Amino acid sequence: GQNIDQPTEMTATEGAIVQINCTYQTSGFNGLFWYQQHAGEAPTFLSYNVLDGLEEKGRFSSFLSRSKGYSYLLLKELQMKDSASYLCAVRPPNTGTASKLTFGTGTRLQVTL
Amino acid sequence: SAVISQKPSRDICQRGTSLTIQCQVDSQVTMMFWYRQQPGQSLTLIATANQGSEATYESGFVIDKFPISRPNLTFSTLTVSNMSPEDSSIYLCSVVTRHLGGEQYFGPGTRLTVT
């Protein structure tokens, strides 16, 4: 099975940087995904890591360490519209790219003035 | 990415009835999934919708309660049968495209309330 842990809630100030951590314990691993979900809306894809290191996409970056079972999502220059839930999801091993995901419980981020 | 639509967007149903949710994608996709998201919770996978064959259900979900069809590569339905208030949830379909990472894209969801 897979166990995925994220902080439940975080608060940060507009313009600041926030790091949302995700740890996972799995019997194998084949990719980690981050999704953003605004209240009442469907999740939207943010990033994907399968190798160790940092993937940067504009204000959003995601980092992965497979040996530590650890990832983080870094949001820079926070904006009020970044207030949302951020979901970490892991793809099980030996399943190829077309495979189901297991989601963490999500981190609710509140951006304040 | 793929454009995904779901019908209905929301519904209020009585206990004991059934509701069928439709998911339509604008392009052929590799895989389609059905998730449930209960209030304040994360997503729980119900099943993988297999084209032309029976769906693959996750632990805790059974075909009699959540029958699924996928007649072609762009369309699937999920039925919530013999509903109870505990079935009140958002139901989302998702698809995997042929992009390198195999990321999933989600439909807008169907908000179901059972009274």
C-alpha to C-alpha distances, A18 to A110, A112, B24, nearest whole angstrom: 11, 12, 36
Instruction: Tell me which residue in A33, A50, A98 faces B30 most closely, judged by beta carbons.
Output: A98
Burial A22-38 (b: 16+ CB within 10 A, else e): bbbebeebbbbbbbbbe
Instruction: Pick B11 or B3 by higher pLDDT.
Output: B11
Instruction: Tell me which residue in A45, A100, A105 faces B45 most closely, judged by beta carbons.
Output: A100
Report how far Cα A32 is from the mean position of its chain's Cα atoms. Answer: 8
- A21 Cβ contact partners less than 8 Å away, ≥ 6 residues apart: A6, A7, A70, A71, A72
Query: Are residues A111 and A82 in contact, defined by beta-carbon separation less than 8 angstroms?
Result: yes
Residue count (chain B):
115
Determine contact: B75 vs chain A, CB below 8 A.
no
A13 Cα to chain B: minimum distance (Å): 23
Q: What is the mean pLDDT of residues B23-41?
A: 89
Q: Report residue B2's pLDDT band, with 50, 70 and 90 as the boundaries.
A: confident
Residue A98 confidence (pLDDT): 56
Query: Are residues A64 and A53 in contact, defined by beta-carbon separation less than 8 angstroms?
Result: yes
B82 Cα to chain A: minimum distance (Å): 25
Q: What is the tens place of the pLDDT at every residue in B4-20?
A: 999 999 999 999 999 99
pLDDT by 10-residue block (mean), chain A, 113 residues: 88 97 85 92 91 94 95 97 96 68 93 95
Q: Which phi and psi (to 5°) does residue B87 adopt?
A: -85, -5
**Residue labelled with tokens 């004991």:** B16
Q: Report residue B97's pLDDT band, with 50, 70 and 90 as the boundaries.
A: confident
Residue A71 confidence (pLDDT): 97
**Residue labelled with tokens 């902080």:** A7
Residue A95 confidence (pLDDT): 60
- Find the range with the poorest average confidence among A51-55, A92-96, B41-45, B72-76: A92-96
Do the strands B110-114 and B10-13 form a parallel or antiparallel pair, or are they unpaired?
parallel
